[in-house]
Amino acid sequence: MSLGPEPTPSLSIGAVVGGVTASPAAWKALVVDVSRFIQPRALLIEASPRINVVYHVPGEVLTPEHVGVRTGHYSRARDLLMVQAAIVEDVSAASREVLYQLLVDAIDAAEAYSVRKARPVRLEGVRAIVASVEALWLPAQ
């Protein structure tokens, strides 16, 4: 018996991790941590577009092809935009501040994409979640 489709959160976080050594593993742990912080909040609000931020973590196997953030695939059916956020190679120590700044940049990129494509933009709730990341998750060291 199906209960229907899972709700799509207004903001979701993922990662493509390019290796298994200590540095990529530390980044992956931080991405999982921020995702766990965001997900319950993101299920409570509506947004347009919904945003999936995928952090690209460099490692010994894969290195991101880009620097900073870039928009990826947009699903009109789900009103979901993927934004890729690359962690630069010279950042050796996993850092909440780096993840947070890339998250802010990703939301800005999603908004700019929507405006450029003349699509509706309702990101106030997502920005409130990002503010809570800054206030409640970022200081926890």
Q: What is the pLDDT of residues 72-122, one digit of tens each?
A: 999 999 999 999 999 987 666 778 999 999 999 999 999 999 999 999 999
Judged against a pLDDT cut of 70, whether residue 134 lies above it is answered with: yes
Confidence of residue 139 (pLDDT cuts 50, 70, 90): confident
Contact 84, 31 (CB under 8 A): no
Q: Is pLDDT at 43 greater than 90 in this prediction? A: yes
**């947004």: which residue's tokens?**
47
6: confidence class by pLDDT, cuts 50, 70, 90:
confident
Q: Which of 45, 35, 39, 49 is closest to 99 using CA atoms?
A: 35
Helix (H, G, I), strand (E, B) or coil at 73: strand
Per the CB < 8 A criterion, the answer to whether 36 and 3 are in contact is: no
Specify the pTM: 0.92
The count of residues in the chain is 141
**DSSP state, residue 138:** T
Percent of the chain with pLDDT over 90: 78
| Mean pLDDT in residue range 64-74 | 94
